[in-house]
Chain A
Amino acid sequence: MPTLPVPTFTQVVFVLIAAFTVISGLGVVVARNLFHSALLLAATFFGVAGLYVMLEAEFLAVTQILIYVGAVATLITFAIMLTRGAMHGETNPLNRQWGKAALFAFLFLVGLLGYLGGIPWPAPFQAIQADEGLIARLGEQLVTRYMVSLEVMGLLLMVALVGAILLARDDKP
């Protein structure tokens, strides 16, 4: 009888984090209460941050927590709290078209898997020492190679800022 391979510790942790992410992700779409969906979305973001850590991309993980869990999800909960009807009422996540939607989602998944399976993934490069040198290298790239992108991003963010202010202005004196 062939012995089953014993999973390494990292694999166990990965499966736990991935399961957490997937389950809370599922919760987002099946929860009947909008606020619960928003909270589960925050949990999903958190799980994704965990996956980033496992990929040794800790800066990305921090960004994920800071921006998605800390700001975007808060924004969504605010939006829910600001609207009257959606706040406490139960909504049905299924509408008349759920069958067709499920079919297309499934087809899309199959297509995506087929496409991703065909890509010749590069073998891992040399192991990168994940010390703070990694973040420093990111900073170096940011101001050299991606400098133009950085400045454009600044402009984009300013446009977002102006848009936000105009959107939420009150015309009353």
Chain B
Amino acid sequence: MAESYLPLLILIVLALGFGAVVLVLPALLGPREINKQKMQPYESGIIPFTSPRRRFPVKYYLVAMLFLVFDVEVIFLYPWAAVLRDMGVFALVAMAPFLLVLVLGFVYELKKGALHWR
């Protein structure tokens, strides 16, 4: 029943509402004395001389890509896990090649040293 998920929707909406209320309250309660220094980016007391608009190592992107691939593989394991007890050996054997390929990919990643941070 989709209705059984309604409490979760209420929960999400109320949680967002809570965040909003907490954000608005101090704007009403707190003092306001704005000066130029308060509005500058914080860089340990010096005036920032590099912009954060720089490029970042592609390693971070690789982490995200690898995560995506493994995440997709893991999601297939969930329905399988639910039936494993009832279907027994057959389900185990059926999933073995899938897992094996997963492990192979993983070994390749290890051997390549893809995530070896230098």
Contact = CB atoms under 8 A, between A and B. Distances in A.
B61 A165 contact: no
Contact of A70 (B71, B79, B98): B71
Contacts of B11: none
Interface in A84-118: 84, 87-88
A88 B80 CA distance: 44
A162 B76 CA distance: 20
A168 interface: yes
B95 interface: yes
A55 to B, nearest CB: 8
Given A67-B68, A139-B79, A165 B108 contact: yes
A142 interface: yes
A167 B66 CA distance: 12
A157 B75 contact: no
B75 A66 contact: yes
Nearest to B94: A143
A153 B56 contact: no
Contacts of B66: 161, 164-165
Interface string A7-32: 00110010000000000000000000
Contacts of B15: none
Given A71-B71, A142-B76, A158 B101 contact: yes
10 contacts: A13-B9, A78-B64, A82-B58, A139-B78, A142-B79, A143-B94, A164-B66, A165-B112, A165-B114, A168-B65
